[in-house]
Amino acid sequence: MSQLIARILLAIFVIPIASLIYMVAFIQSERWLYRWINYQTYATYRDIARMRFGFSGLIAWAFLAIWWFLLWRKSVRWNGTRIGLTAGAVVLAAIAGIIVAAILNQSERGFGDFIGSATAPLLWIVATIFVWRETAAERAARVNNSGQDAIVCPTCGYNLTGLTEPRCPECGTQFTLDQLLASQPSRTRADLET
Ligand SMILES: [Zn+2]
């Protein structure tokens, strides 16, 4: 299994696992919230249900965000704009979730809270795909750079450009030509980023 395939599989499984975490958080939140609410002022059953959906949504979202970030952080070209848009997407997704909840609550009270709390993290994930993917200019620069990569010694990184035999003059290691080609750093990148 290549690195890229493994990452795509991990990306596919994040949503079902986050759904499980949502359900567990929802079940557990009943005990926690009722214990806490005993000391609070009057709260209706609906207020408590709304809090439980919100709480479960936040827990699932936090899990999703950490998993998603760890999975893709190395292949995202981080800059000020990307970090700002990623944070802005959190706010927009939360607002969208609240709007969805308000609209659906008009026809089915409580159901809207559930859908809204699930909508926000899902919208954020979709937004990050657009924010994190490389722009056309970034892709052009990357392809350009990988094309210019010199053949280097896999053992010590010495530039082997112009040599007529597959032996590193720096560290003395000998290779066959296919070993040399297969172990080039640019090849590993090409496997990860296509
Ligand atoms: Zn060497």
Distance CA 184, CA 153 (A): 8
Residue 88 has pLDDT above 70, yes or no: yes
Joined tokens for residue 1: 């299994």
Please, are residues 49 and 110 in contact by the beta-carbon 8 Å criterion?
Answer: yes
DSSP three-state, residue 128: helix
Token pair belonging to 96: 């969208």
Task: Locate 71 and state its tokens.
Answer: 């999975």
- The pLDDT of residue 159: 84
Ligand 1 mean position, distance from CA 189 (Å): 20
What confidence score (pLDDT) does residue 8 get?
93
| Band of pLDDT at residue 190, cut at 50, 70 and 90 | low
How close is the Cα of 160 to the center of ligand 1, in Å? 9
CA of 177 to the centre of ligand 1 (A): 14
**Residue pLDDT, tens place only, 129-149:** 999 999 988 888 877 776 566
Q: Render pLDDT for 50-71 as a digit per residue (tens, 0 to 9).
A: 889 999 999 999 999 999 999 9
CA of 153 to the centre of ligand 1 (A): 5
